[in-house]
Amino acid sequence: MAKRSNKGIYYALVIHILWWGCLLWALQLDFNLANPWIYVAFLLQTHLYTGLFITAHDAMHGTVSKNRKLNKAVGAISALLFSFNFYNRLNKKHHEHHRFVATDKDPDYHHGSFWPWYFSFLKQYISIWQILLMAISYNLLKLFIPWKNLVFLWMAPAVLSTFQLFYFGTYQPHKGEHSAANEQKSTSQSLNHWKAFFTCYFFGYHYEHHISPGTPWWKLPKLKEKIAGEGYPG
* Residues 183-225 pLDDT 10s: 888 999 999 999 999 999 999 999 999 999 999 999 999 999 9
Is residue 53 assigned to a domain? Answer: yes
Other residues' Cβ atoms within 10 Å of the Cβ of residue 187? 17
Instruction: Please give the share of the chain, as a percent, with pLDDT higher than 70.
Output: 96
Average pLDDT over residues 15-40: 96
Q: Is residue 147 part of a domain?
A: yes
Q: Is the pLDDT of residue 71 over 50?
A: yes
For residue 123, is it within any domain?
A: yes
Question: Residue 130 burial (CB < 10 Å; 0-12/13-18/19+)?
Answer: middle
- Name the nearest CA neighbour of 170 among 78, 80, 57: 57
Amino acid 84: pLDDT: 96
Question: pLDDT over 90 for what percent of the chain?
Answer: 82
Residue range of the domain that includes 108:
7-178
206 and 187 Cβ atoms separated by less than 8 Å: yes
Any domain includes 166: yes
| Domains of the chain: total | 1
CA angle 182, 95, 58 (to 5 degrees): 95
In a domain, 203, yes or no: no
Residue 229 in domain? no
- Within 10 Å of residue 216's Cβ, how many Cβ atoms? 26
Does residue 89 sit within a domain?
yes
Within-domain flag for 27: yes
